């Protein structure tokens, strides 16, 4: 009997098989944030219940904290947002769970700090009332995004009920071209197979191009699995992951390390393991991508054109036409002709050090186009400190970027500060839904390098094109 | 333990919102999440489309749920991937507070689907053809041509058109939660001993998880 990585993770955590394709799964870690986690803590307390294991619960301030440099501890980026911060703090303190507060040196976006602090590591089951929890599958963790009620349930009982998903392997063979990132690969997959392409499936990424990705790139790739409707994503842990986790604050104690390493090395799919479906991708065929519409599946190459509506499958045409109206783009229009009003670099998708480095490489010695608002918000304080130690903050600011305090920032609008209605924004984030970054704001998703190049050119541009322009 | 509204049989007006990928940002915009609470969200439901101006709350007559013929709609008909995007359970809380008890769509966002059963809302997945047939039926006289959902029998029928009788799938656990209005935590806590036995065994095997 062969087993996939997911089968093995399931077996480790299976408390009970309920015989209807579902089971009770032990939840090793619960992460919460002030936007959806506070309400879970409150509901728990109101029901007269307490977390079974408060030491394995982590509450983090990230979603609506201000990203203004020099922000106050309770300063929110949206009207009324301070309540979420103060109430989550009070309830987390009462419940005795770990709290990573706004002014904590470890603070950052929950999915950015979970690897940094090794709250997530191979073999852990970790849930968070946040859809991008799937990011953490990049470490070989069973990471599941849930609603607040399920987080409350897991805190109270130590388990959650899961309907066992089907399994899909996405094998990416060969090597990505230089300048093609994990973000481009993810957008390539979503645009090729649709925003519900992995419906009810756990996706395991494998193959030479995946092995070659850094930990941070793997986190980006797995982060976008939810935009592909996946149950979650997984990558088998390798030596890179073991080296990455070792010695971090919540990593297993050194006294266990031999057992831990042995166990983690076994967390991989057997050679002849079977999947319900498989997608094969030639890494060399992936180009830098950008979205043109209001779903992450509506993408083209950075040198491409907005598609002709009739070239799309019939069931996608109506949505495409509506998206084109909202985005103010036309069929067959060159994406590189679109003028840009704003850019944002950050988020749980692309707010890590390597993302900031890639953008800084494009920005070094250059300036953003006149009149364009450019914002960079590092994904965590650790990322911010590391970037500042390398002088990356100075590169961004010299180019005309604002340099913010860590949090989700402009990835989503929560009332409060944003780009003006009608703005065209190139963003390193994960969702381009109507109004996601603000009423009437038109979001184009891309990699940090593409965002940076577009900021400099004032039009949508791939990083290569930008660098070539500068050279000639 | 029973603190939710049971769902057994429901007859109601159905409103078509047939787009694909209606995400939870549309269902309840983040700016409408104003307190650390499950309540008070109904007014923010679909706020981006429902109001001409979200601040003054002046209704947009073109939005389906504002049309008199869809008054008191408690069933939504939609396309693929309904409830995709953000995990915010506020989307279901807003729908429930507004009075929506059932959503019939081609498919659902995974987390949203799970959130429904926790809150007394029934998600039903049907084919595009069947949803088109339901829409045609409903649109001809929305207030009269209501839909009837029998969860026990797992059937969706049209109150005035005998040709429409669609069976639907629901997972047994979600069915039980909905039928009895059970509190899922209370239900799981009846299995405390089974869980404790697992945790004891696991703590010996993977002690680093528990330290």
Whether residue A149 and residue B119 make contact (CB cut-off 8 A), yes or no, is: yes
Whether residue B31 and residue A158 make contact (CB cut-off 8 A), yes or no, is: no
**Which CATH number belongs to the domain containing residue A140 in this structure?**
3.30.499.10
The yes-or-no verdict on residue A80 having pLDDT over 80 is yes
B127 touches chain A (CB under 8 A): no
What is the b/e burial string over A377-387, where b = at least 16 CB atoms within 10 angstroms of the residue's CB?
A: bbbbbbbbebb
Q: Is residue A345 left, alpha or beta, with left meaning phi > 0 and alpha meaning psi from -120 to 50?
A: beta
On whether both A127 and A117 belong to a single domain, the answer is yes
- Residue B3: closest CA among chain A residues belongs to which residue? A47
Q: How many domains does chain A have?
A: 3
Among A46-55, A74-83, B53-62, whose mean pLDDT is lowest? B53-62
Question: Over the stretch A93-129, which tens digit does the pLDDT of each residue have?
Answer: 999 999 999 999 999 999 999 999 999 999 999 999 9
Q: How far does Cα B60 stand from its chain's mean position?
A: 23
Per-residue pLDDT, averaged over A379-405, amounts to 98
Question: In A, which residues are within 8 Å of B21 by CB distance?
Answer: 195-196, 295, 319
On whether both A148 and A45 belong to a single domain, the answer is yes
On whether both A299 and A393 belong to a single domain, the answer is yes
Question: Over the stretch A409-429, which tens digit does the pLDDT of each residue have?
Answer: 999 999 998 999 999 999 999
Per-residue pLDDT, averaged over A242-263, amounts to 97
Contacts of B81 (CB under 8 A, 6+ apart): A195, A196, A199, A229, B20, B21, B22, B105, B106, B107, B108, B109
On whether both A357 and A226 belong to a single domain, the answer is no
C-alpha separations of A192 from A111, A132, A186, A308, A432 in Å: 26, 21, 10, 16, 17
On whether both A257 and A337 belong to a single domain, the answer is no
Residue among A102, A107, A61 nearest A378 (CA) = A107
The tens place of each residue's pLDDT in chain B, 211 residues long, gives: 334 778 999 999 999 999 999 999 999 999 999 888 899 999 999 999 999 987 889 999 999 999 999 999 999 999 999 999 999 999 999 999 999 999 999 999 999 999 998 899 999 999 999 999 999 999 999 999 999 999 999 999 999 888 899 999 998 888 988 998 888 999 999 999 999 999 999 999 999 999 9
Mutate one of B34, B47, B82, B85 to test the A interface: name it (highest A CB count within 10 A): B85
The residue to which tokens 């997959």 are assigned:
A189
Instruction: Specify burial of residue A322 (Cβ count, 10 A radius: 0-12, 13-18, 19+).
Output: middle
pLDDT for residue B54: 75
Whether residue B111 and residue A146 make contact (CB cut-off 8 A), yes or no, is: yes
The yes-or-no verdict on residue A472 having pLDDT over 50 is no
pLDDT category of residue A452 using cuts at 50, 70 and 90: very high
Q: How far is A36 from chain B (nearest CA, A)?
A: 7
On whether both A118 and A170 belong to a single domain, the answer is no
Tokens representing residue A57 in the block = 């619960």
Question: In B, which residues are within 8 Å of A133 by CB distance?
Answer: 87
On whether both A300 and A415 belong to a single domain, the answer is yes
- Per the prediction, chain A carries an average pLDDT of 96
Element (H, E) at A143: strand A142-145
pLDDT category of residue A20 using cuts at 50, 70 and 90: confident
Q: Which of B19, B23, B188 sits opposite A157 (nearest CB)?
A: B188
Tokens representing residue B130 in the block = 């069947």
The residue to which tokens 């945790």 are assigned:
B199
pLDDT for residue A467: 52
Q: Which of A130, A200, A416 sits opposite B87 (nearest CB)?
A: A130
Contacts of B174 (CB under 8 A, 6+ apart): B116, B117
Q: How many CB atoms lie within 10 A of CB A210?
A: 25
| Domain span including residue A463 | 293-471
Residues 38-97 of B with CB under 8 A from A: 38, 48, 80-81, 84-90, 92
On whether both A299 and A342 belong to a single domain, the answer is yes
Domain boundaries, chain B: 9-180, 181-211
Question: In A, which residues are within 8 Å of B55 by CB distance?
Answer: none
On whether both A382 and A442 belong to a single domain, the answer is yes
Residues 150-209 of B with CB under 8 A from A: 171-173, 184-185, 188-189, 191-192, 194-195, 198-199, 202, 206-209
- CATH architecture type of domain B9-180: Alpha-Beta Barrel (3.20)
pLDDT for residue A374: 98
The residue to which tokens 């209005």 are assigned:
B181
Torsion of CA A457, A463, A464, A470, to 10 degrees: 40
On whether both A227 and A118 belong to a single domain, the answer is no
Among A7-11, A67-71, B107-111, B172-176, whose mean pLDDT is lowest? B172-176
pLDDT for residue B1: 35
pLDDT for residue A471: 43
Q: In what order do the strands lie in the sheet with A232-234?
A: A232-234, A201-206, A166-173, A277-282
On whether both A320 and A414 belong to a single domain, the answer is yes
On whether both A150 and A171 belong to a single domain, the answer is no
């Amino acid at each position: 009997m062969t087993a996939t990585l997911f089968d093995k993770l399931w077996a480790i955590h299976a408390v009970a098989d309920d015989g209807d394709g579902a089971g009770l799964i032990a939840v090793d870690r619960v992460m919460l944030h002030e936007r959806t986690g506070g309400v879970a803590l409150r509901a728990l307390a109101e029901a007269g219940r307490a977390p079974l294991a408060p030491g394995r619960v982590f509450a983090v301030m990230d979603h609506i904290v201000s990203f203004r440099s020099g922000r106050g501890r309770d300063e929110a980026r949206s009207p009324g947002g301070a309540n979420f911060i103060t109430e989550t703090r009070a309830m987390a303190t009462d419940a005795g769970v770990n709290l990573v507060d706004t002014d904590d040196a470890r603070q950052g976006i929950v999915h950015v700090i979970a690897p940094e602090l090794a709250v997530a590591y191979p073999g852990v089951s970790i849930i968070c009332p946040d859809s991008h929890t799937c990011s953490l599958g990049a470490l070989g963790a069973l990471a599941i995004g849930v609603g607040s009620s399920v987080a409350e349930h897991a805190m109270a009982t130590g388990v959650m009920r899961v309907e066992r998903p089907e399994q899909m392997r996405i094998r990416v063979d060969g090597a990505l071209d230089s300048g093609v990132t994990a973000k481009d690969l993810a957008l390539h997959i979503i645009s090729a197979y649709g925003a519900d392409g992995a419906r009810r499936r756990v996706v395991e990424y494998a193959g030479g191009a995946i092995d070659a990705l850094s930990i941070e790139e793997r986190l980006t790739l797995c982060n976008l699995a939810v935009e592909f409707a996946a149950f979650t994503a997984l990558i088998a842990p390798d030596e890179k992951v073991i080296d990455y986790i070792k010695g971090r604050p919540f990593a297993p104690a050194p006294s266990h390390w031999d057992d831990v390493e042995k166990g983690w090395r076994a967390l991989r799919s057997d050679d002849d393991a079977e999947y319900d479906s498989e997608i094969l991708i030639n890494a060399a065929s992936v180009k830098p991508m950008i979205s043109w519409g209001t779903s992450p599946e509506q993408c083209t190459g950075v040198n491409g054109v907005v598609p002709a509506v009739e070239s799309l499958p019939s069931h996608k045409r109506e949505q495409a036409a509506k998206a084109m109206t909202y985005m103010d783009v036309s069929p067959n229009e060159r994406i590189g002709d679109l003028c840009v009003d704003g850019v944002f670099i950050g988020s749980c998708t692309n707010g890590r050090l390597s993302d900031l480095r890639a953008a800084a490489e494009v920005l070094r010695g250059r300036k953003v186009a006149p009149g364009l608002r450019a914002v960079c918000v590092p994904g965590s304080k650790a990322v911010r400190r590391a970037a500042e130690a390398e002088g990356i903050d100075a590169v961004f600011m010299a180019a005309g970027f604002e340099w913010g305090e860590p949090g989700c920032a402009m990835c989503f609008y929560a009332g409060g500060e944003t780009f003006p209605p009608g703005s065209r924004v190139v963003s390193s984030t994960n969702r381009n839904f109507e109004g996601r970054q603000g009423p009437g704001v038109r979001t184009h998703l891309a990699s940090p390098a593409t965002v940076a190049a577009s900021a400099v050119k004032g039009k949508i541009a791939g990083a290569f094109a930008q660098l070539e322009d500068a050279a000639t | 333990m029973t603190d939710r509204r049971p769902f057994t049989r429901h007859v109601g007006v159905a409103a078509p919102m047939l787009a694909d990928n209606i995400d939870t940002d549309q269902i309840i915009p983040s700016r409408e999440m104003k307190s650390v609470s499950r309540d008070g969200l109904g007014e923010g439901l679909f706020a981006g489309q429902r109001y001409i101006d979200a601040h003054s709350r002046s209704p947009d007559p073109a939005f389906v749920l504002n049309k008199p013929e869809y008054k008191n709609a408690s069933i939504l008909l939609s396309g693929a991937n309904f409830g995709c995007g953000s995990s915010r359970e506020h989307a279901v809380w807003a729908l429930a507070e507004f009075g929506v008890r059932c959503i019939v769509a081609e498919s659902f966002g995974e987390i949203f689907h799970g959130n429904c059963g926790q809150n007394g809302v029934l998600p039903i997945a049907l084919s595009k053809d069947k949803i088109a047939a339901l829409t045609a039926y409903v649109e001809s006289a929305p207030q009269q041509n209501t839909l009837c959902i029998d969860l026990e029998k797992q059937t969706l029928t049209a109150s005035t058109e005998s040709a429409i009788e669609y069976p639907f799938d629901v997972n047994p656990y979600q069915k039980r939660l909905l039928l009895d209005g059970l509190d899922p935590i209370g239900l799981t806590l009846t299995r405390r001993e089974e869980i404790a036995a697992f945790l004891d065994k696991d703590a010996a095997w993977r002690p680093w998880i528990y330290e």
